[in-house]
Amino acid sequence: MMEEKRTKITGTLITLLGGTFWGLSGACGQYLFNYEGANSKWLVSIRLLIAGLLMVLFYLIRDLFQNHTVRNALHIFEKKRDVLDIVLYGIGGMMLCQFSYFTCIQYSNAGTATMVQYIAPALVMLTVCVLERKKPLPTEILAAFLALSGIFLLATHGDVTHLVISKETLFWGLLSAVTVVFYNLYPRRLMKDFSAPYLLGWAMLIGGIVLCPLFRPWTYEQPIHSSTLAALFAVIFLGTIVSFSFYMQGVKMIGPTKASLYACIEPVSAAVIAAVWLHASFEPLDILGFALVISTVFVLALSKGIVRR
């Protein structure tokens, strides 16, 4: 009994920490944009390439030591369909999701970008209903209504005649939410044969390989200070490898529904860190919009409709 309780407490804590690191990653991205002269093209290219390379190297080295070969680490490239799926997942899911999210941060702030992206669970639910040709449950309809209401308040503060956020913020934020739908639904077949961290590593590496020649981050005259390196460490290591690992361990220890609920600390931590550290300002109607968006996750938990990006 005590062991079970200890497991639940540990799972809860590491899930909360993982979500906090996700929020910290967005805030550190905002710091790089606002104070270090970086942009999303440079940051996302670097993030995906380095994080993906580190994760793939982990599987290659582990496979080499355990099996004296790297065949298992390269197993996803043995079938043409798997190769096509991981490439599409890396580009259409991982790459576009990360680029649109950080571009939204560049035009606004970490809190707003994360909140807008958090309408994704409701979009996933609606997409599944369409694909499976089933009527949404009352809780799912409520979740969609709350998500749309939250975005409406964030974008207009209740005045339909004008936007209080830039068109770029709204566009990139909504695009990031749409790509989260693809990110969550497309690799379902792959996940039957491969672990999520394994797919994540290859998807990031593929996304980075595609972005680097496209945006050529090495051509940017980006000053590198100790603060730049610290922020990059938070974005690449804490906000990618550690946060995802903590979340997956939390799923294992306390279950996916509870883990997804506790991971809702991500947008809250992003908003709080952005406000306290980076002096981002939020109006009362922004806070209400945040609350409506986050409430969709709790509503969807009632119908087991939770997903993670």
What CA–CA distance (Å, rounded) separates 197 from 243? 11
| Residue 39 counted as domain residue | yes
Angle at 97 between CA 130 and CA 296, to 5 degrees: 55
Summary mean pLDDT of the chain: 89
Tokens at residue 176, please? 């990031």
Q: Residue 76: what pLDDT?
A: 95
**pLDDT one-digit tens code per residue, 43-83:** 999 999 999 999 999 999 999 998 888 888 899 999 999 99
DSSP structure string for 190-215: GGGTS-HHHHHHHHHHHHHHHHHHHH
| Residue 222 counted as domain residue | yes
**pLDDT one-digit tens code per residue, 117-153:** 988 888 888 888 888 888 888 888 888 888 889 888 8
Q: Residue 166: what pLDDT?
A: 93
| Residue 133 counted as domain residue | yes
How many other CB atoms are there within 10 angstroms of residue 4's CB atom? 8
**pLDDT one-digit tens code per residue, 154-178:** 898 888 788 889 999 999 999 999 9
Range of the domain at 140: 13-301
**What's the pLDDT band for 96 if we cut at 50, 70, 90?**
very high
Give pTM, 2 decimals: 0.91
How many other CB atoms are there within 10 angstroms of residue 152's CB atom? 14
Looking at the 3D structure of the chain, how many domains does it have? 1
| Residue 213 counted as domain residue | yes
